[in-house]
Amino acid sequence: MPKSALTGSRIREHRLMRGLKQADLAREIGISASYLNLIEHNRRRIGGKTLLALSEVLGIDPSTLSQGAERAVVTELQDAAASDSDTQVELDQIDDLVARFPGWAAKITAQHRRLRALERTVGGLNDRLTHDPVLSEKMHEVLSTVSAIRSTASILVATPDLGAEWQARFYSNIDTESRRLADSSASMAAHLDHLSRNHTSRATPLEAMFAALDTRAYHLAELEAGGDPQALLDTFPELDSAEARALALQHFATYSADAAAMPLEAFREAAHSAQFDPSALAVTFNVPLDAVFRRLASLPRSATVPDIGLVCCDAAGALLLRKSPSGLALPWFGAGCPLWPLYTALGTPGFPVRQVIESEDRAQFTAMAVAYPTGPLSFERPPMYHAAMLLVARDDQTATDASLVGTSCRVCARSDCPARREPTVLTQG
């Protein structure tokens, strides 16, 4: 079953569950009953305001109806399949698995994430065991003490006629060194326990922050009202490590600054007046484009706000922030598709880039990107840049000049892509 055929069927299913007639639902969202009938029978694509209006009337999250939520699950299942090349799986039936058994699909992806996090934990602990100077010092102390005890005991065994006074001295040395060994061993065990506790989180700190922000769709009402960022941390169980909480605090500080510069109600009104044009909003509020991108992505969902996604990266291309729009899956770690305008912007810092892109699910977006310096400028070092890309779903999905993009090379099926940097895992054998 192609995934693109699932959205209409789900709309029909939720409409029937609520006892709504097709004509009544169509009238509420401002389209004809015949057009809704085509949507429900998967003969017309749906996105943008129509999807949001339907989700609002049906009382469910847009991602429940959209392809985007399923695409993220499909992408993770493909990655899980690639992680075990010895076991052959039916890659062409992943969409059917997600559609028919969403619970099992979610269970498999959760276990894959857990396994991936544990592998990173083991790798991190291995690096710490190899390179940790504190652990190295404690291990050296333990081995030195063991060697001293062993030498003293050898002398006692090898010299049975040793005088009583010398025997007493050697026994005293063994007692002293044994106490020292016990203290060193306890100290090393405590250090190892500390390392283990610091690396038992279920994901990397960045992934944990992504998961936390996803639960709120990147809108933090507490900070809109001037709330305490430190207190907000305790509302996110996903932030289960000190590193993840530190990253989240940085994001909260940026969010608070953006909210102060662009108050929610004034910004929302201006965004509608400017038809969500970031450059016009940047002029209105006298703020940089990247701040407007973040603010647009933090707007609460409604039928009058388009489906908006956001991606930010550093100069190496690694993702620092990700909010997936419906219809375009974003990777949880590493870098994304080389064809994203996000990376084009890094080549021309300060110059905004706009481009219509089309995902593998044939969803189209207006992508706007800009690279900007981060941190204080200095004559002593070259400037450091980050880039941000805003993704706005298009109501009209028929642009013929759209650039084809993917999620990442690893899970992209386009074999003729000139930007491919590694083989895809989507072909059997």
Q: What is the pLDDT of residues 27-61, one digit of tens each?
A: 888 888 888 888 887 777 676 678 778 888 888 77
Bridge partners (DSSP) of residue 353 are 369
Torsion angle of the four alpha carbons 185, 189, 190, 193, in this order, in degrees rounded to the nearest 10: 180
Question: Cα–Cα distances in Å, from 316 out to 105, 335, 387, 406?
Answer: 32, 8, 10, 19
What is the pLDDT, as a whole number, of residue 390? 96
Q: Give yes or no for a contact between 46 and 8, defined as CB atoms under 8 angstroms apart.
A: yes
Both structure tokens of 403: 């650039």
Which candidate, 330, 73, 334, places its Cα nearest to that of 218?
330
Give the per-residue pLDDT at 169. 87
Residue 190, number of CB atoms within 10 A of its CB: 11
Question: Which stretches of the chain drop beneath a pLDDT of 50?
Answer: 1-5, 68, 199-202, 428-429
pLDDT at 193: 67
- What pLDDT score was predicted for residue 429? 38
User: Is 129 in contact with 182 (CB distance < 8 Å)?
Assistant: no
Q: What is the pLDDT of residue 342?
A: 93
Q: What is the pLDDT of residue 370?
A: 96
